[in-house]
Amino acid sequence: MPSSGLRIISVGCTHGPTAHCRRVYTYVYQQEVLIKGLANSKTFQRFALRTDHHVQQYKKKGQEHVNEALDDLHKTATETMYKAQGEARASGYAAGGSAGGAGPGSRAAGPPTPPLRGFGGFISAVGKEIRKDLGLGR
């Protein structure tokens, strides 16, 4: 019998409602004895605080590790992109087709320029696609 003073009354759980009575008894037992008993236990409270402290430390270390890995990945990807652009310009595959990258169609290394906006940008994009489809120009 639980020490909390709660009395379990037997309702005659002999046939069909046995499972239901068992569930009610288990719930009451868990609520009264286990949970309240653990909540009042100084040992369990120390354990919970230490566990929470360790979990927070590991989460912080993990987040720092992920951020460092993402920074390294971004740095490597950026360096690789600029290196590949430089090699393409040096080998003559730059935009505009000029070798060495010094012609009028080439741009300096840097982020790409955004496309034109609005109706003018739409017409420009359609014109480029039509020229590509017809094989007119690069």
In tens, the pLDDT along 89-109 reads 777 654 544 444 455 555 556
Return the pLDDT at 55: 92
Tokens of 10: 């037997």
Query: Domain for residue 125, yes or no?
Result: no
Judgement on whether residues 28 and 62 belong to the same structural domain of the protein: no
Neighbours of 76 (CB within 10 A): 10
In a domain, 127, yes or no: no
Q: What is the pTM of this model?
A: 0.36
Let me know if 43 is exposed, middle or buried by CB neighbors in 10 A (0-12, 13-18, 19+): exposed
Q: Does residue 115 lie in a domain region?
A: no
Domain interval for residue 18: 1-40
- What pLDDT score does 46 carry? 92
One domain, residues 21 and 55: no
Residue at 134 is within a domain: no
Give the pLDDT band of residue 28 (cuts 50, 70, 90).
confident
Distance CA 106, CA 81 (A): 16
Total number of domains in the chain: 2
Q: Rounded CA gap, 93 and 103, in Å?
A: 12
Mean per-residue pLDDT over the chain, rounded: 77
Evaluate whether residue 23 is within a structural domain: yes
DSSP alpha helix (H) spans, 7-111: 18-29, 36-39, 42-91
DSSP letter assigned to residue 34? I
**Confidence at residue 2, expressed as pLDDT on a 0 to 100 scale:** 47
